[in-house]
């Protein structure tokens, strides 16, 4: 028997767990860049190096990511809220006026990231109303001087070292 769960209240409970903010990118069949904001990013394995993220099955890009050979996870830095908002929206040309360079498989990599992970798709799993996309990390990079963008309790936040860690 499945418990009755209020989706709105469940989402509020999930918001108590802070997450990093990423934009996952790939190319469609015509070579056009595709991207979506995702906070559902996680490490899976060190050997082999695997990461995962999930995309809503109802999203325009879901089938594109399901079938993509490669994808890139752009871990946004604290000053990249505008990029997060742009890729969370629908409609407009999300890549307009945002500099990027092609990474593995041509997947867009942005400037000024806290980290990046360039992946070959390992597997895609059914996850209820989402697809769970697992990728093998083929290349990565990070900048420790840039604070990552964080999302918690329905809003953006900044990651800072806890005062108890001082000293």
CATH code for position 78: 2.30.110.10
Domain that holds residue 79: 21-154
Give the integer Cα–Cα distance in Å for 68 and 35: 12
* Number of structural domains the chain divides into: 1
Residue 15 lies in a domain: no
Give the integer Cα–Cα distance in Å for 97 and 72: 19
Which pLDDT score, from 0 to 100, does residue 92 have?
75
Which pLDDT score, from 0 to 100, does residue 16 have?
87
Which pLDDT score, from 0 to 100, does residue 69 have?
98
Residue 39 lies in a domain: yes
Phi first, then psi, for residue 153 (nearest 5°) are 50, 35
DSSP per-residue codes, 72-124: EEEE-BTT-HHHHHHHHSSSS-TTTT--EEE-GGG-EEESS-SEEEEEEEEEE
Residue 137 lies in a domain: yes
Residue 63 lies in a domain: yes
Give the integer Cα–Cα distance in Å for 56 and 132: 9
Which pLDDT score, from 0 to 100, does residue 90 have?
82
Whether cis (ω within 30° of 0) applies to the bond prior to 48 is: yes
Residue 7 lies in a domain: no
C-alpha separations of 100 from 29, 96, 97, 111, 163 in Å: 19, 10, 9, 6, 36
Residue 23 in 3-state DSSP?
strand
Which pLDDT score, from 0 to 100, does residue 2 have?
65
The Cβ of residue 159 has, within 10 Å, a number of other Cβ atoms equal to 13
Angle at 60 between CA 14 and CA 54, to 5 degrees: 35
Residue 77 lies in a domain: yes
Q: With beta carbons less than 8 A apart as the criterion, state whether 143 and 113 touch.
A: yes
Mean pLDDT by 10 residues, the chain (167 residues): 82 89 97 96 97 96 97 97 94 89 98 98 97 98 96 89 81
């Amino acid at each position: 028997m499945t418990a009755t769960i209020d989706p709105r209240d469940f989402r509020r409970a999930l918001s108590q767990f802070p997450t990093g903010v990423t934009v996952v990118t790939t190319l469609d069949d015509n070579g056009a860049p595709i991207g979506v904001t995702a906070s559902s990013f996680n490490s899976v394995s060190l050997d082999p190096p695997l990461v995962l993220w999930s995309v809503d099955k109802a999203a325009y890009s879901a089938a594109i990511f399901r079938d993509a050979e490669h994808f890139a996870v752009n871990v946004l830095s604290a000053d990249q809220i505008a990029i997060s908002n742009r890729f969370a929206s629908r409609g407009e040309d999300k890549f307009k006026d945002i500099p990027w360079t092609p990474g593995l498989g041509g997947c867009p990599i942005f400037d000024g990231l806290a980290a990046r992970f360039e992946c070959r798709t390992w597997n895609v799993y059914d996850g209820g109303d989402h697809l769970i996309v697992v990728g093998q990390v083929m290349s990565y990079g990070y900048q420790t001087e840039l604070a990552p963008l964080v999302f918690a309790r329905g809003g953006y936040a900044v990651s800072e070292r806890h005062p108890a860690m001082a000293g």
